[in-house]
Amino acid sequence: MALAGNRPHRPATIKDIARELNVSISTVSRVLRDMPDVNAETRQAVLQMAEKLDYQPNQVALSLVTKRTHTLGVIVPNLDHFFSVAVRGIDDLALEAGYTAMICQSNESYAREMVNTQRLMKSRVDGLIVSISSDTFNVDHFKRLLQKNYPIVFFDRVGSDLAATKVLLDNVAGAAMAVTHLIEQGCRRIAYLAGPANLSISQQRLIGYTDTLRKYGIPIEEELIVYSEFDRDYAYSCTLDLLSRPNRPDAIFAVSDRLAVGALLALKEKNVQVPEEVALVGFNDEPLMRLLTPAVSSVAQSAFDMGRTAAQLLIEQMSSETTLPHRTVMLKPTLIKRDSSLRKKTETT
């Protein structure tokens, strides 16, 4: 009975195998799940038929009865270098643990983040890994889920007032490392390109910035702290503005590499010597940074590890019978020093 017509593809089911072999679907199911209580010959026949019909178990039906999809939802604001690598980390651990990741991009939009969560909930993903969008000021949609004990792990961009498991960088320490380094290089008027004010990374890194200045007895000047969009062009114009002031800074610490690149473009255009006149440090250590001229210093973090541990925590939480207490894992950054902030070159040689 060759029914391989021009039809839209009908995958073989356990029933097909049973019918073809004149056994019950229970028996087929037993074979396919490697259960006992089945004759060796029957087992063999079923396995052969499964192979022949190219049988693939229907995860959908299985999910309906087990209430587990073995899928985890991921919502990231974008897929820039950092998040791409983080997603790879998630994917990596998910594969090991037998899960598949559904990756959605919120495109930094609150509305899209909502749609994404809703879609993922409809698909009954077993848990969520989220880095919130820069446009998200209201996190009620996540709070509702958390209240129902739905497993969610936030990473990198976490809501400040969310009681949940989180994986993040020690942003205070990272900023402190950058600013300390700049001070050691002789900088005294260090500007901070802060990014969007609502994000916790901006706030945390601001704390590291101010703490360090205080520690070294350097006055904190409000006008050296510049908020902006997460956008290179924005950083570019902010930097031009900084440079046009009578009392220009002698260093710039950018909350992200994207902003650091914008700053560098402005500096180069104005023919400002880097690092002699203005030193520069970014954040994330994207591969691009070492390729720029001059190579730009940056605070490095392992996005891969962050993604992996986020997935790890989520899967632990999901496989646990009881609701586990919320945890916060903090990863340590490292500072990569490059030409853009190394004034005392004699030291290194």
Partner DNA sequence: AACGTTACCGGCAACGTTACCGGCAGCGTT
Partner DNA sequence: AACGCTGCCGGTAACGTTGCCGGTAACGTT
Omega of the bond leading into 196 within 30 degrees of 0 (cis): no
CB of 173 to a copy of itself, least distance (A): 28
| Per CB under 7 A, 54 contacts DNA | no
CB of 327 to a copy of itself, least distance (A): 17
Buried b (16+ CB within 10 A) or exposed e, 307-339: bbbbbbbbbebbeeeeeeeeeebebebebbbbb
| Per CB under 7 A, 37 contacts DNA | yes
CB of 68 to DNA, least distance (A): 11
| Per CB under 7 A, 49 contacts DNA | no
Tell which one of 13, 78, 203, 210 touches DNA (CB under 7 A): 13
| Per CB under 7 A, 29 contacts DNA | yes
Cβ closer to DNA: 66 or 237? 66
**Distance of alpha carbon 129 from alpha carbon 295, whole angstroms:** 33
Residue 118 binding partner per list DNA, a copy of itself, none, with a CB distance cut-off of 5 to 8 Å that depends on partner kind: a copy of itself
Residue 163 makes CB contacts below 8 A (sequence gap 6+) with 146, 326
What tokens appear for 149 in the block? Answer: 């004990």
Residue 176 makes CB contacts below 8 A (sequence gap 6+) with 208, 209, 211, 212
Cβ closer to a copy of itself: 204 or 341? 341
Cβ closer to DNA: 41 or 140? 41
Q: Is residue 283 within a helix (H) or strand (E), and if so which, with residue range?
A: strand 279-284
In contact, 151 and 196? CB cutoff 8 Å: no
| Per CB under 7 A, 27 contacts DNA | yes
| Per CB under 7 A, 115 contacts DNA | no
In contact, 224 and 243? CB cutoff 8 Å: no
CB of 29 to DNA, least distance (A): 3
Residue 52 binding partner per list DNA, a copy of itself, none, with a CB distance cut-off of 5 to 8 Å that depends on partner kind: none
| Per CB under 7 A, 319 contacts DNA | no
**Distance of alpha carbon 233 from alpha carbon 267, whole angstroms:** 13
| Per CB under 7 A, 67 contacts DNA | yes
Cβ closer to a copy of itself: 151 or 174? 151
**Token pair 């994000």 is at which residue?**
199
Residue 113 binding partner per list a copy of itself, DNA, none, with a CB distance cut-off of 5 to 8 Å that depends on partner kind: none
Residue 291 binding partner per list DNA, a copy of itself, none, with a CB distance cut-off of 5 to 8 Å that depends on partner kind: a copy of itself
Classify 205 as helix, strand or coil: helix
- Taking the CA atoms of residue 77, residue 82, residue 88 and residue 92 in that order, the dihedral angle to the nearest 10 degrees is -110
Classify 138 as helix, strand or coil: coil
Residue 33 binding partner per list DNA, a copy of itself, none, with a CB distance cut-off of 5 to 8 Å that depends on partner kind: DNA
CB of 126 to a copy of itself, least distance (A): 10
Stretch that binds DNA, among 37-45, 179-187, 193-201, 230-238 (CB under 7 A): 37-45
Radius of gyration, CA atoms only, the chain = 27
**Distance of alpha carbon 344 from alpha carbon 98, whole angstroms:** 51
CB of 238 to a copy of itself, least distance (A): 18
Cβ closer to DNA: 36 or 217? 36
What tokens appear for 110 in the block? Answer: 């609150």
Tell which one of 19, 44, 48, 61 touches DNA (CB under 7 A): 61
Give the count of residues interacting with DNA (CB under 7 A): 26
Q: How many residues are given for the chain? A: 349
| Per CB under 7 A, 3 contacts DNA | no
Tell which one of 2, 3, 65, 291 touches DNA (CB under 7 A): 65
**Distance of alpha carbon 27 from alpha carbon 44, whole angstroms:** 12
**Distance of alpha carbon 163 from alpha carbon 254, whole angstroms:** 29
- Rule CB under 7 A: which residues touch DNA? 13-15, 22-27, 29, 32-33, 37-40, 42, 55, 57-58, 61-62, 64-67
